[in-house]
Amino acid sequence: MSKSKSEKKIHRITLIPGDGIGPEVTSAARKVLAATGVLIDWEIVDAGAGAVDKYGSVLPEETLESVRKNKVALKGPITTPIGGGFQSVNVQLRKALDLYANVRPVNSALGITFQHSPIDMVIFRENTEDLYAGMEYEVAPGVAQSLKIITEKASTRIAKAAFEWAQKRERKLVHAVHKANIMKKSDGLFLDSVRKVAANYPDVTYKEIIVDNCAMQMVMHPEQFDVVVLGNLYGDIISDLAAGLVGGLGVVPGANLGDDVAVFESVHGSAPDISGKGIADPVATILSATMMLRHLGEHKAADRIQAALVLLFAERKHLTPDLGGKATTDELVDALIAKIKILR
């Protein structure tokens, strides 16, 4: 970070545009950030299948170095081949940078929900192990094995991250989600680790819920959830379910946090079905960038973007097709920037 003549901070940030709709939604977010007047010097780097020709790798060392150096990145989604092909770049990136906490706020602040009660939860998904450890084997022809790795260390630190978040923001309740009735050793260790952390936060109520019941409760009574802490696989599935309660993947942001480095990206993937059509919803990435602004201490700019989004959604005139609207990505961004300028 350096200072300009007017003493305004310039933030140096790594940008990984990704593929599919990634370049469309990250470019939209950059325009919105620029409209707030926050100064950002973007270092644009590659990752994914497109990086192989140039660097010989889907996750070049140059990309990792850039994030390690700048400590903050905004990232678009990256496609992962199904079945064969390379291991998910997203999983590799999170492991390489030890981004252990995937934080996904899900709320009805934009007014899109089928529920009567307001929804306001923050999902803490463990990001480095579980069935995503990538330890899969063909044991014999016709028999495959995938190892679910759960450690006390990873379970403890995701629990600490969730309780710290709850305490700092005066949230009252943390739910741990598990299936320890069946996976007594692995989910049992996760639960034991969370319980030990919970004991250090007497002001935060602690509850446990089995994952299948959690899925049903979240659909029927989502208002009962506040902070939710889960392993990697349950966190992935439950956060998409939760996204569906408030307008879908087009509007839910996320952050991957380590002790030293933070990578902000929306929950959604590269959406190959709509890529290149100019209709991707950029709101999830704009909100991820807003989380990034708060991480950088730029709270005023973040407040302005959020207030402008509330106004935009109240009008319902400039929404993209995923929310039943007719606007293109660019039309939504232009309308949002006009509101940001008014809120100046």
Chain positions contacting ligand NAI, by CB under 6 A: 21, 25, 77-80, 90, 249-250, 265, 268-274, 280-281, 284, 322
Q: Which residue is nearest to ligand NAI (CB)?
A: 269
Q: Which is nearer to ligand NAI, 74 or 209 (CB)?
A: 74
Q: Which is nearer to ligand NAI, 197 or 235 (CB)?
A: 235
Is 259 catalytic? The answer is no
User: For residue 149, what is the DSSP state?
Assistant: B
In sequence order, which residues have a C-beta less than 8 Å from that of residue 45 and are 6 or more positions away?
14, 15, 16, 60, 62, 63, 66, 67
Least separation, in Å, of the C-beta of 26 and ligand NAI? 11
Catalytic residue among 132, 206, 281, 322: 132
Query: Could you give the CA distance from residue 168 to residue 181 in angstroms, rounded to a whole number?
Result: 32
Catalytic residue among 46, 236, 281, 322: 236
Query: Could you give the CA distance from residue 301 to residue 290 in angstroms, rounded to a whole number?
Result: 8
Is 120 catalytic? The answer is no
Catalytic residue among 179, 206, 234, 322: 179
Catalytic residue among 54, 137, 192, 212: 212
In sequence order, which residues have a C-beta less than 8 Å from that of residue 270 and are 6 or more positions away?
18, 19, 20, 21, 22, 76, 77, 78, 79
Of 176, 170, 171, 172, nearest to 158 by C-alpha is 176
Least separation, in Å, of the C-beta of 320 and ligand NAI? 6
Q: Which is nearer to ligand NAI, 78 or 309 (CB)?
A: 78
* 234 backbone dihedrals φ, ψ, rounded to 5°: -60, -35
Helical residues (DSSP H) of 199-276, grouped into ranges: 211-220, 232-245
Residues forming the active site = 132, 179, 212, 236
